[in-house]
A = this chain, B = another copy of it.
Amino acid sequence: MLLRNNWYVAAWASEIEPSAMVARRVCGQALVLFRTKAGTITALEDRCIHRGMPLSQGGECEGEIVRCPYHGLEFDARGVCTKIPGQDQIPAGAKVNSFSVVERDAMIWVWVGDADKANAAAIPSYAYHRDPAWVWSRDTLEVNANWQLLADNLLDLSHLQYVHRKTIGGNPQEDAQAKLSATRDGDRVLVARWLVDLPAPPFHKAMCGFAGNIDRWQEIEFRPGFIQFYSGATDANTGAYEGRREGGMHLRHLHCITPETETRTRYLFSVAHNFRIDDAALTQRMHQLAVATFLEDQALLEVQQRRLAEDPDRALLDTRNDVGTVYARRILMELAAAENGKA
């Protein structure tokens, strides 16, 4: 179940360096991303109209055009063919498909669905990549699993104590005391988990020097392909649960889940914090912890994918912890039905 009519993060903006030709695949569509000399980001189909050669494989970006590596045909940033070596006339309509692409908040967003439905205003904002009060790091994994398995994983954190015992772990006792909620808001799902007035775990003490009990939260906002995590803590009994979350520790994890194919997903994630923002070693340590954690997920998801693929239509059992994942899957089904004209 791929959703073409959706904005996806195809790359980190920093990956598209001047004159680089970057190959990406989104919902099965092969793309080449590059910047013209003016810095405009461009997404063309990665396939020359002449002999089908991928432009990204040795092609060159020169000024405002891109050149095919095989016979040198040239295309402008809209994909229009501007030169065919050995030939004066260029046939009308000679054009490589082009796709809407937006650079925002250090990410490259692309739209490979119906062109008339591409609306850049629908791209979610992500302030933590541009707000100087925050410092952040980023990374990418390529996971051989269906994109929704990654979303399932993030929407049900009850796996922490089983999968991530060696990294971020989890605490069954606390899990039993957590206040959980999951709500659907249009095409978003909001999951929240609160631990109120409990002793600070070692990680929290080390990070922010909490002395006594603290209130802790994890909030997850799911949109198709774009999942935001907000986790934090304040001193207990200072009103966090009621909405006063000043001070304390605040962490933002972003998870961009971009389906390359039905069975392969590009997973771009970032870690942002607004405390000790000049402590590069801390930033690095949190980054490494995130990578180690997500590598554990990757190993698991790839095994899960292969097992599910053996019998893809067989029913699964939803549990109480799956409220968020059930909402998310329902949203995807509705959007997919709308995309296929069945809404």
Q: Report the nearest B residue to A309, measured CB to CB.
A: B52
Smallest distance from the beta carbon of A57 to chain B beta carbons, Å?
5
Q: Does chain B have a CB within 8 A of A163?
A: yes
The answer to whether A57 touches B300 (Cβ under 8 A) is yes
Q: Which residues of B contact A207 (CB under 8 A)?
A: none
Give the complex CA separation of A300 and B51 in angstroms: 11
The answer to whether B85 touches A51 (Cβ under 8 A) is no
Q: Report the nearest B residue to A161, measured CB to CB.
A: B72
Interface string of A305-343 (1 = CB under 8 A from B): 001101000101111110000000000000000000000
The answer to whether A317 touches B91 (Cβ under 8 A) is yes
Q: Does chain B have a CB within 8 A of A53?
A: yes
| Interchain CB contact (< 8 A) of A57 among B49, B303, B308, B310 | B303
Give the complex CA separation of A318 and B86 in angstroms: 12
Q: Does chain B have a CB within 8 A of A58?
A: yes
Give the complex CA separation of A57 and B303 in angstroms: 8
Q: Which residues of B contact A292 (CB under 8 A)?
A: none
Q: Which residues of B contact A308 (CB under 8 A)?
A: 52
Comparing A111-119, A151-159, A252-260, A270-278, the segment that makes contact with chain B is A151-159
Q: Which residues of A75-110 have CB atoms within 8 Å of chain B's CB atoms?
A: 84-87, 91, 94
The answer to whether B70 touches A316 (Cβ under 8 A) is no
Q: Which residues of B contact A304 (CB under 8 A)?
A: 51-54, 70
The answer to whether A321 touches B163 (Cβ under 8 A) is no
Smallest distance from the beta carbon of A235 to chain B beta carbons, Å?
28
Q: Decide: A163 near B70, CB < 8 A? Known: A50-B317, A94-B317.
A: yes
The answer to whether B152 touches A51 (Cβ under 8 A) is yes
The answer to whether A307 touches B47 (Cβ under 8 A) is yes
Q: Does chain B have a CB within 8 A of A126?
A: no
Q: Which residues of B contact A316 (CB under 8 A)?
A: 49-52
Interface string of A138-172 (1 = CB under 8 A from B): 00000000000000100010110111000000001
Give the complex CA separation of A318 and B48 in angstroms: 12
Q: Which residues of B contact A84 (CB under 8 A)?
A: 319-320
Q: Report the nearest B residue to A70, measured CB to CB.
A: B159
Q: Which residues of B contact A72 (CB under 8 A)?
A: 158-159, 161-162
Q: Which residues of B contact A67 (CB under 8 A)?
A: 162
Q: Does chain B have a CB within 8 A of A219?
A: no
Q: Decide: A71 near B158, CB < 8 A? Known: A52-B308, A152-B51, A300-B58.
A: yes
Q: Does chain B have a CB within 8 A of A197?
A: no
Q: Decide: A70 near B300, CB < 8 A? Known: A50-B317, A321-B85.
A: yes
The answer to whether A156 touches B71 (Cβ under 8 A) is yes
